[in-house]
Amino acid sequence: MSVEGEEEALLSEPSPSPLGRFPSASRITPFTVLLVLTGAIGGFLFGYDTGVVSGALFYLRDDPILAGLPAGSEDLVEGAIVAGTTVGAALGAGLGSVASDRLGRRQSILYADAFFTVGSVLLAFSTSAFQLIAGRVIVGLGVGVASMIVPVYIAEVSPTKDLRAALVTVNVLMITAGQFFSYLVNYFLSFAGGECWRWMLGVAALPAILQFGGMLFLPETPRWLALKGNLGEASKVLSKLSASPEDAAEFMREIQAPSVATSTAGVRVFSAFESKLFRYQVYVGVTLQVLQQLSGINTVMYFTPVILSSAGIEGRQVLLMSMLPALTNAAMTLVGIWAIERMGRRKLLLSSLVGVALSLGLIGALFSFEAPYGWIVASLMLYLVCFAPGLSPVPWAVNSEIYPTASRGLGSGCSAVANWLSNSLISVLFPSLQHRLPAGGVFWLCGAVSVAGTWWAYLVLPETKGLSETEIQARFAERLTRSGAAGAKPETRSV
């Protein structure tokens, strides 16, 4: 059979059922596992650095650095320390989107590690509030770059399209593991007292150095190599990634499509936005990330320690009990790894959104009727059970696969920036909404957003499970045409 005939046969094969078998682990080589786990250290750092600050601030407040500030400025400086990472992450995601397409996925991860290391060391040895804020911003740059590039790196080293989203979800699992580990570190270091906050903030340099050293010996993704015209090197990398000759052959057929000739010349930064199809894909990717943030995850994570304190749990016991939501989040993300290739992105997201909306309504009602704290904590855990398998990983997985290779970093970066800006917006508005809305009002508002998001996803989001890049572009072009924008065609720069 000719190459063209084989491609037609592949495209004409019926999609497996949503509850079909999970892709065999035998199709993953040890080298693939090494690349995925090394890349996912970036996700671990993402989770650790966003989770550690709450415990560190508990001891920083009594340190001369903050205790010696002029009266009335403590809250402002503390807010800047917390917000520094978010601001840096938004900037880092934007910078990473350009660097990843120009310099490569691997090189961008190395830059993220440099930011993590420098920022963590600066935080550990800070002697002023300015240094603390600067350190948090630098760490935030690393968080931002990692948040957009690690899912892309993992998706592009996936040896088969049937494993792509499951492997990307490993990164989300590492984010939750990093958050859990930060609470664990905070708890045990709290026994040291004094300046234990320096260790809490500085320990992130260790996994960053580990990842930096590992990435020096690991290759660039085969898709990016093909994008730059280095098909020989791409083939060598692919031979180490794929345990199945059929998977390797299918991948090479795809990246040797005629459009590669256009891709190898590269694209000007932001020229991808000239494509109506790319703009539509960015709209979908950005909306998914905004929906993730506005669905109440930060509100729930904030309220858990507040409720524990209200129930009479104090001091380091709050740090210990705060591990409960992080552990629940991590455990249910494991379910997401199993489900995302069985159910598909679309069905998993829709079911997650329905559960999130219902659980938020329940939380709001329990707050309104001043229910016992135990019931409220249980409802918060129910929310995480619904959120973690679907709404947590799906936006990252979808954004790692829907854009053409030549502009994948740009598209993923735009969505990551939207994620961090939405995160910042929630952080700024939450205290005001908490005081202006009735008890439970914040949760009802987030629930309403989730209901609207369910309807939006049902109408707009196509299924990308098991599709090649060419098929994904065609699927989005079809959606775009149906939405009324005539003349949409698959992106000609794809690899």
Place 325 in a pLDDT band, splitting at 50, 70 and 90. Answer: confident
Distances in Å between the Cα of 178 and the Cα atoms of 44, 51, 193 are: 4, 8, 22
Place 159 in a pLDDT band, splitting at 50, 70 and 90. Answer: confident
With a cut of 80, say whether residue 91 has pLDDT above it: yes
Amino acid 13: pLDDT: 39
Which residue type is seen at 303? F
Distance CA 186, CA 46 (A): 16
Helix, strand or coil for residue 28?
A: strand
Amino acid 418: pLDDT: 95
Range in 75-89, 276-290, 387-401 with the lowest mean pLDDT: 75-89
Place 464 in a pLDDT band, splitting at 50, 70 and 90. Answer: very high
204-221: pLDDT as tens digits: 999 999 999 999 999 999
Burial of 310 (0-12, 13-18, 19+ CB in 10 A): exposed
CB atoms within 10 A of CB 329: 26
The DSSP element (H or E) to which 175 belongs, if any, is helix 164-189
Percent of the chain at pLDDT > 90 equals 53
Distance CA 59, CA 395 (A): 35
Distances in Å between the Cα of 376 and the Cα atoms of 367, 384, 448 are: 7, 13, 19
Q: Does a structural domain hold residue 33?
A: yes
Total count of domains within the chain: 1
Amino acid 7: pLDDT: 36
With a cut of 70, say whether residue 493 has pLDDT above it: no
Range in 130-134, 341-345, 373-377, 434-438 with the lowest mean pLDDT: 434-438
Range in 1-10, 190-199, 375-384 with the lowest mean pLDDT: 1-10
Amino acid 315: pLDDT: 67
Q: Does a structural domain hold residue 89?
A: yes
CA nearest 147: which of 39, 283, 3? 39
Amino acid 151: pLDDT: 95
Crossing angle of helices 30-51 and 129-157, in 10° steps, is: 150
The more confident residue out of 427 and 449 is 449
Crossing angle of helices 53-60 and 164-189, in 10° steps, is: 20
With a cut of 90, say whether residue 109 has pLDDT above it: yes
Amino acid 256: pLDDT: 64
256's tokens = 């040797």
Distance CA 475, CA 1 (A): 26
Amino acid 125: pLDDT: 96
193's tokens = 């007292």
Average pLDDT of 282-293?
97
Average pLDDT of 402-409?
90
Which phi-psi region, left, alpha or beta, contains residue 440 (left: φ > 0; alpha: ψ -120 to 50)? left
* Beta bridge partner(s), residue 242: 28
With a cut of 90, say whether residue 321 has pLDDT above it: no
Amino acid 405: pLDDT: 86
- Answer for the pair 146, 46: CB distance below 8 angstroms, yes or no: yes
Question: Which residue segment(s) compose the domain that 265 sits in?
Answer: 28-482
Range in 310-324, 357-371, 415-429, 435-449 with the lowest mean pLDDT: 310-324
Place 255 in a pLDDT band, splitting at 50, 70 and 90. Answer: low
Average pLDDT, the chain: 85
Range in 127-136, 378-387, 430-439 with the lowest mean pLDDT: 430-439
Average pLDDT of 368-388?
90
51-77: pLDDT as tens digits: 888 788 888 888 888 877 777 677 788
**Which stretches within 369-467 are classed as H helix?**
373-387, 394-399, 408-436, 441-460
Distance CA 120, CA 209 (A): 11
CA nearest 173: which of 292, 338, 53, 19? 338
**Which stretches within 216-312 are classed as H helix?**
222-227, 231-241, 245-255, 260-263, 276-294, 297-310
Distance CA 488, CA 83 (A): 40
The DSSP element (H or E) to which 183 belongs, if any, is helix 164-189
With a cut of 90, say whether residue 89 has pLDDT above it: yes
Q: Does a structural domain hold residue 493?
A: no
With a cut of 70, say whether residue 181 has pLDDT above it: yes
- Answer for the pair 234, 225: CB distance below 8 angstroms, yes or no: yes
Amino acid 144: pLDDT: 96
Amino acid 397: pLDDT: 95
With a cut of 80, say whether residue 8 has pLDDT above it: no
- Answer for the pair 211, 113: CB distance below 8 angstroms, yes or no: yes
Q: Does a structural domain hold residue 245?
A: yes
Cβ neighbors of 260 (< 8 A, separation 6 or more) are: 226, 227, 229, 231, 495
The more confident residue out of 277 and 432 is 277
Average pLDDT of 134-159?
95
Q: Considering just the CA atoms, what is the radius of gyration of the chain in Å?
A: 23
CATH assignment at residue 413: 1.20.1250.20
Q: Does a structural domain hold residue 170?
A: yes
Cβ neighbors of 233 (< 8 A, separation 6 or more) are: 219, 220, 225
Range in 49-58, 175-184, 394-403, 415-424 with the lowest mean pLDDT: 49-58
